[in-house]
């Protein structure tokens, strides 16, 4: 009997040890932030209500041929009226934070501070108050792509330096109005998309194609605008240091097509530097662009040869001002590319990188052809950030998968979405617990099916389904909603 008892005890203690190990390996810190994200233009609607001014996305979508199915964000999810339903949905899932953006032309209809819309302020005040009443931390993006059209018409948008001061004026209004309640801020969402699609290829609003230099010029102004707003926030609105402010950058992982090819390895690094390093290197390293960009498009001796440089140059003063302007590393990540070196001619952002991207045929996907499920790419990207930028605290501000299903069953039974998030979250946890990366929060994209930019309503990213032909726009949970809710409860998968 004693022998059997000893045996049972031994087995029990092994099981306990394994369970503890398992729990430890899968655990994230207790204050890890789990949330969901949206953006003003993609959900609000009410595009010309209560004195809101038009944005560049209002104008862009109103031009036939720009958006799939001729869709617009005029009504979208109607969150301008149905924001209480959004909070109910967030509550049902149990998120700790909700990331949403403010619409600049809803707050300043003409873009400038001389006309502040009281109705616009009240809309966001109510939303923020109700979130706080429900213990949901607001995480606010100042700029998620909807520039006031007036500033595009008058100044050419981000291409003009004047916009830096105007963005600062807008940010000041936001900090004054909402700064007491909001403690998590993002200046820009994905400056890469703003600059490349908005001003180089011209395939996103405002649809300008200054191919080969528009992106670099606008990127330059965005970095300076970001730094100005960061300093203003810290000096004027964050004296007690309870708030945090950062920027959200987007990157897919670039995997060398062949790990035996030195040129593929270099090409993959070059692509990451052109995408993520473009904005991250100035902010997290030395106030200036990464060498890969300087050598390729700026000329090493930019001083002597300024005319040939398409990459603008920061003054020493500006470099100091930009370096260190983010309290955390905001990251949007979706997928991975296989990268090989290519020699491309013609000056354009994409040709400048001199790479060719492809996908492995074995990778699965659901909606967008570029959005293949490659969870290990997420872990590699987190390690790349740790190694390049001295292990900053990373806040995942977007991660998700779309579908292009047309049947209700296909949309609601979204097992592919559960699978995607499970695997990506697992890889994030391994990056934290096995590789020592610092990740402080995870925000899934998106709370609702919404206006997905050029794809209109044909790509669905939401945990809640919306029938866009139903005028009352009811929010309906998908299968993935229950799954994510469980992830939050367990603080992991």
Nearest to 116 by CA among 128, 130, 127, 105: 105
Catalytic status, residue 318: no
Do 125 and 174 contact (CB within 8 A), yes or no? no
Do 302 and 206 contact (CB within 8 A), yes or no? no
Of 221 and 450, the one with the shorter C-beta distance to ligand LGS is 450
Strands 355-358 and 336-341: antiparallel
* 398 forms part of the interface with ligand LGS (CB under 6 A): yes
Q: Which of 177, 190, 255, 271 is catalytic?
A: 190
| Residues between 239 and 278 with contacts to ligand LGS, criterion CB under 6 A | 250
* 358 forms part of the interface with ligand LGS (CB under 6 A): no
Between vectors from CA 395 to CA 313 and to CA 429, what angle results, nearest 5°?
130
Span from 22-30, 185-193, 229-237, 381-389 in contact with ligand LGS (CB under 6 A): 185-193
Do 461 and 449 contact (CB within 8 A), yes or no? yes
Please state, in angstroms and rounded to a whole number, the distance separating the CA atoms of residues 120 and 479.
34
Please state, in angstroms and rounded to a whole number, the distance separating the CA atoms of residues 316 and 314.
6
Of 177 and 271, the one with the shorter C-beta distance to ligand LGS is 271
Of 250 and 458, the one with the shorter C-beta distance to ligand LGS is 250
Please count the residues of this chain forming the interface with ligand LGS, following the rule CB under 6 A: 13
Residue whose Cβ sits closest to ligand LGS: 334
Distances in Å between the alpha carbon of 56 and those of 337, 405, 439? Answer: 30, 29, 34
| Site pattern 54..93 for ligand LGS (x: CB under 6 A) | ----------------------------------------
Q: Which residues contact 26 (CB under 8 A, 6 or more apart)?
A: 429, 433, 492, 493
* 445 forms part of the interface with ligand LGS (CB under 6 A): yes
Show the tokens assigned to 144. 């998620």
* 463 forms part of the interface with ligand LGS (CB under 6 A): no
* 334 forms part of the interface with ligand LGS (CB under 6 A): yes
Span from 27-35, 188-196, 292-300, 462-470 in contact with ligand LGS (CB under 6 A): 188-196
Of 143 and 314, the one with the shorter C-beta distance to ligand LGS is 143
Nearest approach in angstroms of CB 358 to ligand LGS is: 13
What is the sign, positive or negative, of the torsion defined by CA atoms of 453, 458, 463, 469?
A: positive
Nearest approach in angstroms of CB 370 to ligand LGS is: 6
Do 420 and 373 contact (CB within 8 A), yes or no? yes
Distances in Å between the alpha carbon of 309 and those of 216, 296, 298, 300, 406? Answer: 10, 9, 4, 9, 48
At residue 359, the 3 state secondary structure works out as coil
Show the tokens assigned to 58. 């209002």
Between vectors from CA 193 to CA 152 and to CA 104, what angle results, nearest 5°?
45
Of 39 and 76, the one with the shorter C-beta distance to ligand LGS is 39
Do 77 and 466 contact (CB within 8 A), yes or no? yes
Of 328 and 453, the one with the shorter C-beta distance to ligand LGS is 453
Q: Which of 44, 177, 269, 398 is catalytic?
A: 398
Binds ligand LGS (CB under 6 A): choice among 44, 177, 228, 452: 452
Of 42 and 103, the one with the shorter C-beta distance to ligand LGS is 42
Nearest approach in angstroms of CB 429 to ligand LGS is: 22
| Site pattern 194..223 for ligand LGS (x: CB under 6 A) | ------------------------------
* 39 forms part of the interface with ligand LGS (CB under 6 A): yes
Binds ligand LGS (CB under 6 A): choice among 149, 187, 189, 254: 189
Please state, in angstroms and rounded to a whole number, the distance separating the CA atoms of residues 208 and 201.
7
Please state, in angstroms and rounded to a whole number, the distance separating the CA atoms of residues 199 and 214.
5
* 370 forms part of the interface with ligand LGS (CB under 6 A): yes
Catalytic status, residue 398: yes
Helix (H) / strand (E) containing 441: strand 439-445
Please state, in angstroms and rounded to a whole number, the distance separating the CA atoms of residues 482 and 493.
13
Span from 164-172, 189-197, 234-242, 388-396 in contact with ligand LGS (CB under 6 A): 189-197
Residue positions annotated with a catalytic role: 190, 398
Q: In the complex, which residues of this chain contact ligand LGS (CB under 6 A)?
A: 39, 42, 189-190, 193, 250, 332, 334, 370, 398, 445, 452, 461
């Amino acid at each position: 009997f004693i022998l059997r008892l000893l045996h049972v005890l031994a087995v029990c203690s092994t099981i306990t040890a394994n369970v503890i190990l398992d729990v430890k390996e899968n655990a994230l810190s207790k204050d890890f932030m789990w949330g969901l994200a949206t953006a003003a233009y993609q959900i609000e609607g009410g595009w010309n209500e209560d004195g809101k001014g038009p944005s560049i996305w209002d104008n862009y979508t109103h031009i036939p041929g720009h958006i799939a199915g001729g869709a617009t964000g005029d009504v979208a999810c109607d969150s301008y009226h149905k924001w209480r339903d959004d909070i109910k949905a967030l509550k049902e899932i149990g998120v700790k934070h909700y990331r949403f953006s403010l619409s600049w032309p809803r707050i300043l209809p003409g873009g400038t501070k001389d006309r502040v819309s009281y109705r616009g302020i009240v809309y966001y005040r109510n939303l923020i108050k109700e979130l706080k009443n429900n213990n949901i931390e607001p995480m606010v993006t100042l700029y998620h792509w909807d520039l006031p059209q007036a500033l595009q018409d008058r100044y050419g948008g981000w291409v003009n330096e004047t916009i830096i001061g105007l963005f600062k004026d807008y940010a000041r209004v936001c900090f004054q109005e909402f700064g007491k309640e909001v403690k998590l801020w993002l200046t820009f969402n994905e400056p890469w998309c703003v600059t490349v699609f908005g001003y180089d290829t011209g395939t996103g609003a405002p649809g300008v194609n200054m191919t080969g230099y528009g992106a670099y010029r606008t990127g330059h102004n965005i970095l300076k605008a970001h730094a100005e707003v960061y300093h203003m926030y810290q000096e004027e609105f964050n004296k007690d240091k309870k708030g945090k402010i950062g920027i959200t950058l987007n990157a897919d992982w670039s995997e060398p097509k062949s790990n035996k090819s030195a040129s593929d390895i270099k090409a993959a690094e070059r692509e990451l530097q052109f995408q993520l390093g473009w904005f991250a290197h100035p902010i997290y390293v030395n106030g200036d662009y990464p060498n890969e960009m300087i050598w390729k498009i700026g000329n090493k001796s930019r001083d002597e040869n300024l005319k040939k440089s398409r990459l603008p140059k920061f003054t020493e003063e500006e470099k100091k001002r930009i370096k260190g302007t983010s309290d955390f590393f905001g990251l949007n990540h979706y997928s991975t590319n296989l990268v090989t070196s290519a020699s491309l001619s013609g000056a354009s952002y994409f040709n400048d990188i001199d790479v060719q991207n492809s996908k492995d045929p074995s990778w699965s996907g659901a909606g967008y052809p570029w959005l293949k499920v490659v969870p290990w790419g997420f872990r590699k990207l987190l390690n790349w950030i740790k190694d390049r930028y001295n292990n900053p605290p990373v806040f995942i501000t977007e991660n998700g998968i779309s579908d292009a299903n047309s049947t209700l069953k296909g949309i609601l039974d979204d097992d592919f979405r559960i699978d995607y998030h499970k695997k990506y979250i697992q890889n994030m946890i391994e990056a934290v617990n096995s590789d020592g990366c610092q990740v402080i929060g995870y925000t899934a994209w998106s709370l609702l099916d919404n206006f997905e930019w050029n794809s209109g309503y044909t790509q669905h990213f939401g945990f809640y389904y919306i029938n866009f032909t139903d005028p009352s726009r009811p929010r309906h949970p998908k299968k993935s909603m229950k799954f994510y809710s469980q992830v939050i409860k367990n603080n992991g998968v």
